[in-house]
Structure 1
Amino acid sequence: MGRYGFANMIGSVSYWTGYCQVGSPCLPYNQAINYGPLTLYSGIPSRPYYPRGFLWDEGFHNLLMRKFRPELSLDIVASWLDMIDSEGWIPREVVLDSEAHRRAPPLLFEDSTVANPPMFIYLIGKLMEDSAIVSAQKDRLIRIFPRLKLLYTWLKDIQKGPKEGSCQWQGRNGTTDLELNPGTTPSGLDDYPRASHPDSQEYHVDMRCWMAMSSTVMLKLAKLANATDWIPTIQSDQILFNNLTALDQLHWSDSAKGYFDYGLHSYEVAIVGKKQPDGSVKYRREVFSKPEYRFVDDVYGYVNIFPFLLKLLPANSAKLQIILTRLNDTQEMWTPFGLRSVSKRSRYYDAYNTDTAAPYWRGPIWINMNYLALEALQHYSTIDGPLKILAKNLYDSLKLNVVTNLSNQYNSTGFIWEHYDDKTGAGAGTRPFTGWSALVLAIMGDAYN
């Protein structure tokens, strides 16, 4: 399975040329223009179903590829950064040639005001943990720095929330009545439930954590590049976004015992079908309790453990202990096959988002997020403190669950899958999916650093 996963990931690396369809606030609704000409050198998640570049997927792909060919990973990062516009935006999905267009949804175009998780910054941070790579690739890292700085600055500006240090994913639809919970595709966690009524006052815990991680990596890169004029700015950002007191004030709920998004939210919503005169059924969302500004604390899952996933909490944190305890609860995220995306106790667990949109990030097990959880558990298991043994035990058990299930599913079906059923462990979604699911190879080798 390991050789298959890595060989197919390397084999997925492709080269495209063409134009990307991009929308803009300057254009009429649902209209786009050609952005380019562009070239892209990148891996893909799945040749038969997703033969195009995905921005945050590619960051995960290269967490594995860097272990074998760090120069290839830097080539791929540079190619993506070559598409950056003057403000710092990069297309989230890149559809350039006829093969990609045949498999892309109709009228797919990118929005120049919408971001994606900064996985390339995370990847550069991992590369810089290896002193041999830094020594060998210092010139390339310095050449990449100006465009990563532009990307980081754009992210900080466009994702700014209503309070100091808060962050907000842009691109949610606050007017739709067709979805149980309006999606947040820019976050990478497409249908993960957020505030039920999107507006400008909401803010999101995962985006805040991405900025905390990014500011730390960018400070390290700025020092490598000797960017003395920008170092004071990024130092200030690093202090702001890594301030745990502020993180707690923005996102921690003492009553619900967790980190949560904040926004205009109703606890009582449902997709209701009404029969039409012609006999058809029309589905729309009904809201049964008035939305109020509050923590979105009827949802618990991947988003809510980001301070743990990105290793932002100290090893002696009481809040980290709460996260690890909830992690180990089979009624929450723990399964014999890996961590499910949303707790079984959550209102949105396994819930369709429309009459036809099956749960995507509302229960299924995703290997990229289990990789981040395992990396974090390994990290905390190596630090002296009250949680060291618990973290080690959870690491060993979770690794066994993930590797055993992927091995069983591969042996029985011949495929690595997009995600896995949290009740049976069965492969689901697209196959073969030797994108981030191939991170099981790194998991098998305990190869995170």
Structure 2
Amino acid sequence: MLVLTGRPKTYDMNRLPNIWFHEVTVNPPIMSSKIDAGQTVIEVEFTQFGRKGGAFVHKEFTRRLSDLSTAFHKRFSERFPVDLSVFSERQVNLSKVAVSNLLGGLGYFYGSSLVQSSHSGPEPVNNWPAGLFTATPSRSMFPRGFLWDEGFHGLILARWDPELAMETVGHWLDLMNVNGWIPREQILGSESRSRVPEKFVIQRDSIANPPTLALVVEALIDLLPKFSSAEVARFRQWSLTALPRLHTWYQWFNRTQAGSVPFSYYWKGRDPHEIHQLNPLTLSSGLDDYPRASHPSNTERHLDLRCWMALFARTVARLASLVAQYAQTETGQGHLQKLEEARLLAADYSGWADLLMDMNNLDQLHWSDAAGRYGDYGLHTDTVRLQMPAQSALEEGAEEPKATRVVDKPPIPQLITTSPGYLTLFPLLLRIIPPNSPRLGRLLDDLASEDIWTEHGLRSLSRSSPFYRKSNTKEDLPYWRGAIWINMNYLAVKSLRYYATHSRTPTDVASRANQLAVRLSQNLVRTVLGELERTGYMWEQYDDNTGRGQRGHPFAGWTALVALIISPDAS
């Protein structure tokens, strides 16, 4: 990683810059086996800060590189232990490639987001200039920060180096505005904007994104017993600044994404006037084209957001309890106030978590006895199709007409249960449903059904859905309508391991969850690492029929979660 210390106002001989750039432009020689006289040769020398002696080349460079390589393999075996009776040495080595590529995608970005807000008028304005240290989904295709991706990236960072995870989460929380909103896509500065389609550049302050940073905080808390003393000290310091920001962020969600019924939520930003999409997109959810209510309205209830809010509350409650414990051991001015504030937050968020994890309320809002599954609620019909307008001669320069959605049967308010998949499994994926719930076995039935389960991983959308593998427009090919995504499959493996080992899970259900966890993890590892070996890439998603990688590549973002799937400590 290259780091600049900044431009000093005065030159200090005792504080030298740690990098020097010099650009040389030459005409490249014709490739041959020897260097002819007169050809330009550029020799690069490396130096190490604080190192005495000659240039960092030849044997010295090789020795240092070997030391660092040995240290990497040692750290990996400590942080990602693998049962070699289940997974092969070759698979372990490929998972090292996955983690290495995620780490290589860490970057520092600086600039302003283009923001549209009701507080600043109808025209978008530049946000304040800010820096962001973050991992990226793909260095070549998506070289910037994505809020919902970063929570999954942070799970790997938390295992590899907890301080890295704290640093990246801290940077994201520092991008929060005074109301508690964080832009979901960080397109900082003109260079970043040049890489993004214009329609996606503007960030709107009414639009949310899954609060996946809570997953990282939860992982850090779970890993605390394994932290070194230095890591514990760093976490203690970090938690004091993270807690109030997480509190503010949660309250923003509660104010802006609340539904019309108490304890319900819905993703803002769906367009009720959209006539060219088979099912209006829900980009804010991260699941984009996953089928939801066919006719968006403010009466919708979104199951996934309700589950995210439950997990968020549960995590903030745990963090606040830890901060209260830390405050008890402090002395000095203000420590009693810190203690009282942390205790109040812990009590408040424990209460919120209890309310949002209350099964009677969740069932009342989202469970269908007829279908035997959870789902969204809204104004919906499955009988929709895209139809091209009648053909007529186009005038020169005129745009080609777009297909328009035709509704063959009027929508009615209902629970939407005809499109099972990732969405309908959310109470299981985020471990909202209690281990002893009678609903758990039914969710396992859905997960294991041949319409969702494949030998390559879990489909995003069941084959039984009327939207399975259907394009949303002529240009908008199916995205979350069948393909296998590793981030959601990771959550499934983690949850199955949780229910398999929980003392309150009935024995038969625990046994089944364990069998599914083992089979699913093996299928995913074989798919992701097999494609990495075959193609040289990790992929954005995988075909549900063939297991072949597809769409974005190289994609060393959340696909690198295969390293946590292969490790027993992932649960």
TM-score range, shorter chain: over 0.9
Q: How does 1:10-409 map to 2 (within 5 A)?
A: 10-26=103-119, 31-107=123-199, 108-132=201-225, 133=227, 135-136=232-233, 137-226=235-324, 227-279=342-394, 280-331=400-451, 333-384=452-503, 385=506, 386-409=508-531
The 8 Å contact of residues 16 and 39 in structure 1, kept in 2 or not, is answered as yes
Distance 1:252 1:77, change over 3 A: same
Using the TM superposition, give the Cα deviation of residue 281 of structure 1 relative to its aligned residue in structure 2, in angstroms. 4.4
The 8 Å contact of residues 214 and 312 in structure 2, kept in 1 or not, is answered as yes
Q: Distance in 2 between matches of 1:446 and 1:189?
A: 28
Q: 2:565 — aligned with what?
A: 443
Q: Distance in 1 between matches of 2:435 and 2:174?
A: 39
The 8 Å contact of residues 180 and 354 in structure 1, kept in 2 or not, is answered as yes
Q: Distance in 2 between matches of 1:278 and 1:236?
A: 64
Using the TM superposition, give the Cα deviation of residue 28 of structure 1 relative to its aligned residue in structure 2, in angstroms. 6.2
My pick for the range that moved more, 181-190 or 376-385, is 376-385
SS in 2 for 1:60: helix
Distance 1:140 1:28, change over 3 A: closer
Q: Distance in 2 between matches of 1:52 and 1:249?
A: 40
The one-letter code matched in structure 1 to 2:570 is Y
The one-letter code matched in structure 2 to 1:49 is M
Runs of 4+ with >4 A deviation: 26-29
The 8 Å contact of residues 50 and 100 in structure 1, kept in 2 or not, is answered as no
My pick for the range that moved more, 136-145 or 148-157, is 136-145
Using the TM superposition, give the Cα deviation of residue 278 of structure 1 relative to its aligned residue in structure 2, in angstroms. 2.1
Q: Distance in 2 between matches of 1:131 and 1:403?
A: 27
SS in 2 for 1:315: coil
Using the TM superposition, give the Cα deviation of residue 99 of structure 1 relative to its aligned residue in structure 2, in angstroms. 4.2
Q: Distance in 2 between matches of 1:426 and 1:300?
A: 23
The 8 Å contact of residues 6 and 438 in structure 1, kept in 2 or not, is answered as yes
Using the TM superposition, give the Cα deviation of residue 316 of structure 1 relative to its aligned residue in structure 2, in angstroms. 2.5
Tell me which protein shows more strand as a share of its residues. 1
Using the TM superposition, give the Cα deviation of residue 231 of structure 1 relative to its aligned residue in structure 2, in angstroms. 3.6
The one-letter code matched in structure 2 to 1:306 is F
SS in 2 for 1:387: helix
The 8 Å contact of residues 418 and 433 in structure 1, kept in 2 or not, is answered as yes
SS in 1 for 2:387: strand
Deviations 1:75-95 (A, max 9, x none): 001111111001100010001
Q: Distance in 1 between matches of 2:456 and 2:568?
A: 18
The 8 Å contact of residues 275 and 282 in structure 1, kept in 2 or not, is answered as no
The 8 Å contact of residues 9 and 438 in structure 1, kept in 2 or not, is answered as yes
Q: 1:2 — aligned with what?
A: 95
Using the TM superposition, give the Cα deviation of residue 447 of structure 1 relative to its aligned residue in structure 2, in angstroms. 3.0
Q: Distance in 2 between matches of 1:25 and 1:143?
A: 29
Using the TM superposition, give the Cα deviation of residue 26 of structure 1 relative to its aligned residue in structure 2, in angstroms. 4.5
SS in 1 for 2:242: helix
Count how many residue pairs are aligned between Structure 1 and Structure 2.
447
SS in 1 for 2:463: coil
TM-score w.r.t. the length of structure 1 is: 0.97
The 8 Å contact of residues 95 and 529 in structure 2, kept in 1 or not, is answered as no
Q: Distance in 2 between matches of 1:228 and 1:406?
A: 44
The one-letter code matched in structure 2 to 1:417 is W
Unaligned runs of 5+ in 2: 1-93, 325-341, 395-399
The 8 Å contact of residues 115 and 204 in structure 2, kept in 1 or not, is answered as yes
Using the TM superposition, give the Cα deviation of residue 25 of structure 1 relative to its aligned residue in structure 2, in angstroms. 3.0
Q: Distance in 1 between matches of 2:492 and 2:170?
A: 28
TM-score w.r.t. the length of structure 2 is: 0.76
The 8 Å contact of residues 318 and 346 in structure 2, kept in 1 or not, is answered as no
SS in 2 for 1:41: strand
Q: How much identity, in percent, do the aligned residues show?
A: 38
The 8 Å contact of residues 51 and 99 in structure 1, kept in 2 or not, is answered as no
The one-letter code matched in structure 1 to 2:475 is T
The 8 Å contact of residues 251 and 295 in structure 1, kept in 2 or not, is answered as yes
Using the TM superposition, give the Cα deviation of residue 275 of structure 1 relative to its aligned residue in structure 2, in angstroms. 2.9
